[in-house]
Amino acid sequence: MEAGERMDFEDGLAILESDDLLALGELADLARRVRGGTDEVYFVQNLYVNQTNVCRVKCKFCAFAATQRQPHAYTFTAEELVEDVLRQREVTGFTELHMVNGESPHVDFAFYRDTITALHEALPDVHLKCYTASEIHHMTTLSGLTHEEVLRELRDRGLGSLPGGGAEVFAERVRRLVAPGKEHPDIWFHVHDTAHRLGIPTHCTILYGHVETYEERVDHLIRLREQQDRTGGFLAFIPLAFHPENTVFERRGWRHTTGADDLKMLAISRLMLDNIPNIKAYWIMMGMPLAAVALHFGANDVQGTVVREEIFHAAGARTETEQKVEELVHFVREAGRIPVQRDTLYNELRRW
């Protein structure tokens, strides 16, 4: 790395197989600095919403989805959603709305299009970060449109960026086991590639800690790096640890990933993804104390104030779902870094 050479597959494997956690942290932190990283750590004031939890896919790692007939199923209209979001806006000054949903077979493309229109009209100054690649693909199935046509329609109505969900692990073996109903990984890439070419930035993720091997994790990172080489449209990478609670995996004896595994995953992400500028330590998933440690393992972003996160909490996350700005600032400072509030596109709004 110090010679400026790219980490290859074998290097990635060696990192994950290493037990020298502190050395990995040091390497990742060095990589961050060598590539122009500073002491600044970013966060955004954001609101998480889910318009529907009704989903046609039966992913085995998901504790969020419901079928239409289940008592906890819900689908809000665009009007109901806007009303709810405006109520929240009076409480917190969020600059980003983060929305993902189940893939409901009971709605049409107009449901999504009208929602973006209504949100953008009600909150013109809020960045709409909505819909995973899987949902965009679902919209093409509902409408008969192409990925490009769907994305153009949404962009022209106010969509700002795509979140990175739905990537899980790209290896086909893994997808067959954990998400057999989900589209092929090539479709995830096609949606993000198309978005980038239309000027829509996106995020990327991995969901690790279930049935995947170290080899499959490294392969996933290399595929993301190759996509970023082609289009440069990924704003940030977020490694997501698998939460087994309330899923079939819990009954089979799966446990949460260890803190060491989470830190190792952040370190390898920073080392391998030399062309993605921001690596997020998702405190909702790992808790704020570990996220603060993660800032010394290559991470430079702690996500945000995340009001009302439901998907990880459905799977047993115990963290507070709203970390007040003051607390985030305190944690980042305690970690010896400079807290910077950003917007979705990493423009600085305020620093401490």
338 vs 304, residue with greater confidence = 338
Q: Tell me: the pLDDT tens digits for 73-85?
A: 999 999 999 999 9
HSE-CB for 166 with a 13 A CA cutoff: 31
pLDDT of residue 312: 47
> C-alpha distances in angstroms, 277 versus 42, 235, 244, 342?
12, 7, 30, 14
pLDDT of residue 2: 61
Task: Report H helices in the chain.
Answer: 9-17, 21-34, 78-91, 109-122, 133-143, 147-156, 172-178, 185-197, 214-231, 248-251, 259-272, 283-286, 288-294, 311-314, 325-334
207 and 167 Cβ atoms separated by less than 8 Å: yes
pLDDT of residue 316: 62
101 falls in which pLDDT band (50, 70, 90)? very high
pLDDT of residue 319: 47
63 vs 142, residue with greater confidence = 142
Beta bridge partners of 260: none
**Residue 251 corresponds to which amino acid?**
R
pLDDT of residue 289: 87
1 falls in which pLDDT band (50, 70, 90)? low
Percentage of the chain beyond pLDDT 70 is 90
Mean confidence (pLDDT) of the chain = 90
Judge whether residue 50 has pLDDT over 90: yes
pLDDT of residue 243: 72
Q: What is the mean pLDDT of residues 91-107?
A: 92
The full set of domain ranges for the chain reads 9-351
Q: Please state whether 230 falls in left (phi above 0), alpha (psi between -120 and 50) or beta.
A: alpha
- 9-351 has which fold? TIM Barrel (3.20.20)
Q: Tell me: the pLDDT tens digits for 208-253?
A: 998 999 999 999 999 999 999 999 999 999 999 887 666 666 666 6
Q: Tell me: the pLDDT tens digits for 272-320?
A: 999 999 999 988 778 888 999 999 999 999 987 766 545 445 556 554 5
Q: What is the mean pLDDT of residues 264-272?
A: 97
Q: Tell me: the pLDDT tens digits for 16-36?
A: 999 999 999 999 999 999 999
344 vs 286, residue with greater confidence = 344
How many CB atoms lie under 10 A from the CB of residue 110?
12
Q: What is the mean pLDDT of residues 134-141?
A: 97
Q: What is the mean pLDDT of residues 108-114?
A: 98
pLDDT of residue 307: 62
Burial of 152 (0-12, 13-18, 19+ CB in 10 A): middle
pLDDT of residue 250: 62
pLDDT of residue 321: 45
Q: What is the mean pLDDT of residues 159-168?
A: 95
Q: What is the mean pLDDT of residues 100-119?
A: 96
Q: What is the mean pLDDT of residues 144-148?
A: 98
